[in-house]
Amino acid sequence: MFELQYFTPDDFDQMIGWFDSKREYIQWGGGGFGYPLTRSKLHSHIEGANQEGSKKFIFKLVETETGKAAGHISLESIDRENRSARVCRVLVGDDSMRGKGIGQAMMDEILKTAFGEHQLHRVSLGVYDFNYSAIKCYEKAGFQKEGLKRDVQRYEDEYWNLWEMSILEDEWKKKVDIYQS
């Protein structure tokens, strides 16, 4: 069993240690964070987050039995007027936990937070087109591809394409109802 808990400065060193390469780091943070990840950048990232009325909620996924953090995910760009937000910075950080449904658990929990707690109507995300396991995970969670943004991220001598995906509240409710029946 897993649950989302707020990401705090106590989690910074573990998060920094989860990145084995610049490529993996850029996939997680895009160009916005700059390489390498530092405690200072993480402090800036969580500033103003996880408070009532915040536009950003940042979590770690914790295995409830052991208390061990297995991943990181955030709900950002929360627009209360339009009832929308964006899932960002998804990472199954612990290599030993990859391929065990942790990504799916994170998506299920963040969507419960988005549609249940925050009463949103639309949740979107972006994923690089070569990240097949993430795309499969997001589709299983109910996200649909909306379009491909070409050459959005430069990494060394190549450019990466990004799939835009989203899920609407009625689609999520139908999915949840199916599993509860």
CA distances from 95 to 33, 104, 143, 166 (A): 22, 15, 25, 27
- What integer pLDDT is reported at residue 100 of this predicted model? 82
Please count the structural domains in the chain. Answer: 1
Kindly give the confidence (pLDDT) of every residue in the chain, 181 residues in length, as a single tens digit, with 9 standing for 90 and above.
Answer: 899 999 999 999 999 999 989 999 999 987 777 889 999 999 999 999 999 999 999 999 999 999 999 999 999 999 999 999 999 999 999 777 788 889 999 999 999 999 999 999 999 999 999 999 999 999 999 999 999 999 999 999 999 999 999 999 999 999 988 767 6
User: Which domain range does residue 32 map to?
Assistant: 2-180
Q: How far is CA 115 from its chain centroid?
A: 15
Integer distance in angstroms from the first to the last C-alpha of the chain? 20
Tell me the C-alpha distance between 166 and 113, whole Å.
15
CA distances from 78 to 14, 40, 51 (A): 26, 24, 12
177 CB neighbour count, 10 Å cutoff: 9
- What integer pLDDT is reported at residue 45 of this predicted model? 93
Residue closest to 71 by CA, chosen among 124, 109, 31, 32: 109
Tell me the C-alpha distance between 46 and 66, whole Å.
25
CATH number at residue 168: 3.40.630.30
- What integer pLDDT is reported at residue 109 of this predicted model? 96
- What integer pLDDT is reported at residue 181 of this predicted model? 62
- What integer pLDDT is reported at residue 99 of this predicted model? 81
